[in-house]
Amino acid sequence: MTEAIKKVCVIGAGVMGAGIAAQVANAGVPVLLLDIPAKQGDDRDAVAKGAVAKMLKTEPAPFMSKAAAKLVETGNIDDHLARVAECDWIVEAIVERLDIKQSLYAKLETLKRPGTAVSSNTSTIPLERLVEGRSEQFRHDFLITHFFNPPRYMRLVEIVRGADTDPGTAGKVEDFVDRFMGKRIVRAKDTPGFIANRIGTYWLAVAVNAAIDQGLTVEEADQIGGRPMGVPKTGIFALIDLVGVDLMPLLAKSLSDTLPQGDPYFATVRPLPLVDRMIAEGFTGRKGKGGFYRLD
Ligand code: NAD
Name the residue of 77, 234, 247 whose CB sits within 8 Å of the most ligand 1 atoms, as the mutation to test its pocket: 247
For the question of an ipTM over 0.95, the answer is: yes
What's the pTM? 0.95
Q: Which residue ranges make up each domain of the chain?
A: 2-187, 196-280
pLDDT value of position 112: 98
pLDDT in tens, 169-214: 999 999 999 999 999 999 999 999 999 999 998 888 999 999 999 9
Superfamily name and number for 2-187? NAD(P)-binding Rossmann-like Domain (3.40.50.720)
pLDDT value of position 295: 87
Round to whole Å and give the CA distance between 63 and 55.
5
Ligand 1 center to 85 CA (angstroms): 22
The b-or-e profile of 173-191 (16+ CB within 10 A means b, else e) is: bbbbbeebbebebeebebe
Residue 1 has pLDDT above 50, yes or no: no
Ligand 1 center to 148 CA (angstroms): 12
Output 193 or 269, whichever has higher pLDDT.
Answer: 193
Q: Is 17 in the pocket of ligand 1 (CB under 6 A)?
A: yes
Residue 296 has pLDDT above 90, yes or no: no
Contacts for 162 with CB less than 8 Å, ≥ 6 apart: 127, 128, 131, 139, 142, 143, 190
Which of 85, 88, 87, 91 shows the shortest CA–CA distance to 35? Answer: 91
